[in-house]
Amino acid sequence: MAARWEAIDGPAGMAEQGLDSNEGLLRQHGLPPPAEGPLPEGAPLHALPRPARDAFDALLDARTTCRNYDPQASIPLEVFSGIMARTFGRRGSGRPAPGFEVIKRTSPSGGALHPVECFLIVQRVQGLAPGLYRYRAAEHALLAVAPQVAAPVAGDVGTRALPAGEAATAWSSESLRAFAQIAVAGQGFFADAAVLCVLAPRFHRNFWKYRNHAKAYRVCILDAGHLSQTLQLCATQAGLGPFVTSAINEVDLERAFGMTHYEQSPLLVCGFGPRAGTLVESEFDPNRRVWPR
Ligand SMILES: Cc1cc2nc3c(=O)[nH]c(=O)nc-3n(C[C@H](O)[C@H](O)[C@H](O)COP(=O)(O)O)c2cc1C
């Protein structure tokens, strides 16, 4: 609960401290610890055979965090549906006891419980009204979510609860974009993604098995991380740019999607969409798998 943010602008906060660039970090803190732990002196190294490359290597190497989305381009419904099915869909199921169901996904999950649900900010998918949704694995379907906060406007850093007695209304694409930017704590380059996925575990599903258990919360975090990597690979395979961030405004997301924070709360936001034609924000593509195209 202490790690949850509300109305935080991450890049602005880092810039205020002069920590928004490697130059600033190096100036203030010197070099980071090396990329790998040091070798013990004289220890022999066992060289491994050089692996043969195949198509899977090409896919793995093409995954690069996208910070340059085309803010106009949309995704065909079939492509979106395929990424959802491969990442969050039910590939099979088991029934250990009557009323107790576990689902098989393409990512592992502690206790096979898969407590993580995917909520969506859909900005540009052909044939799908822009808005907030919840993905249902059982039916491979979306449930529209009526936003539980007032429609944000560009420049807002946080959300406001709906005024008493006011019913939720559908948002304009500008409000949705403003909300996406709040979701990713002011990182506008991620807010331009066609689709943003909010991964939020239902803690009580996991805590049913891992009771008063030192690893229970850790398992939820790891589950979300696995799903994010699977989503990134599926999006890359579809020719789209993926991202993940843990710099998110959890409290604003809970408020908008109507989550009760001790029952369900976001751990990360990942997403995907068509890349822009030009590189403006930096991406880490040292082997030129993505840029220049
Ligand atoms: C848990 C996690 C949180 C991240 N948060 C951010 C973030 O807040 N902003 C950002 O620009 N990138 C974020 N990233 C992306 C990393 O910066 C990126 O993975 C890293 O630079 C390596 O580049 P690559 O993903 O292209 O290999 C995050 C990645 C992970 C795994």
pLDDT, tens digit, 9 for 90 and up, residues 218-271: 999 999 999 999 999 999 999 999 999 999 999 999 999 999 999 999 999 999
CA distances 261 to 3, 51, 144, 217, 253, Å, are 12, 46, 20, 14, 10
- Cα separation, 143 vs 141, whole angstroms: 7
Nearest ligand 1 atom to the CA of 247 is 8
Whether residue 211 is predicted with pLDDT greater than 70 in this model: the reply is: yes
**How big is the chain, counted in residues?**
293
Cα 49 to ligand 1 centroid, rounded to whole Å: 30
For residue range 116-126, list pLDDT tens digits in order.
Answer: 999 999 999 99
Whether residue 64 is predicted with pLDDT greater than 90 in this model: the reply is: yes
- Looking up tokens 């593509």 gives 285
Nearest ligand 1 atom to the CA of 190 is 11
What tokens appear for 247 in the block?
């710099």
Q: What average pLDDT does range 20-39 have in this prediction?
A: 94
Question: Which residue's CA lies nearest to atom 21 of ligand 1?
Answer: 284
pLDDT band at residue 164, thresholds of 50, 70 and 90?
confident
Q: Is the torsion defined by CA of 134, 249, 284, 108 positive or negative?
A: negative
pLDDT band at residue 293, thresholds of 50, 70 and 90?
low
For residue range 245-256, list pLDDT tens digits in order.
Answer: 999 999 999 999
Cα 56 to ligand 1 centroid, rounded to whole Å: 22
CATH tag, 10-15+60-160+168-273: 3.40.109.10
Give the distance, in angstroms, between the CA of residue 136 and the centroid of all CA atoms in the same chain. 17
Q: What is the DSSP letter of 287?
A: T
First-last CA distance in the chain = 43
Q: Determine the pLDDT at residue 168.
A: 85
Q: What average pLDDT does range 91-103 have in this prediction?
A: 96
Q: Determine the pLDDT at residue 87.
A: 98
Q: For residues 46 and 52, is the Cβ–Cβ distance under 8 A?
A: no
Q: For residues 217 and 2, is the Cβ–Cβ distance under 8 A?
A: no
Q: Please tell me if the CB atom of residue 284 comes closer than 6 angstroms to any atom of ligand 1.
A: yes
Q: Please tell me if the CB atom of residue 244 comes closer than 6 angstroms to any atom of ligand 1.
A: yes
pLDDT band at residue 170, thresholds of 50, 70 and 90?
confident
Which run of H or of E encompasses 230?
Answer: helix 216-237
Question: Which residue's CA lies nearest to atom 6 of ligand 1?
Answer: 245
- Cα separation, 117 vs 273, whole angstroms: 20
Domain ranges of the chain: 10-15+60-160+168-273
Q: What average pLDDT does range 179-208 have in this prediction?
A: 98
Whether residue 75 is predicted with pLDDT greater than 90 in this model: the reply is: yes
Q: What average pLDDT does range 74-90 have in this prediction?
A: 98
Question: Which residue's CA lies nearest to atom 13 of ligand 1?
Answer: 245
Q: What average pLDDT does range 197-214 have in this prediction?
A: 96
Q: For residues 162 and 173, is the Cβ–Cβ distance under 8 A?
A: no
**Average pLDDT over the chain, rounded to an integer:** 96
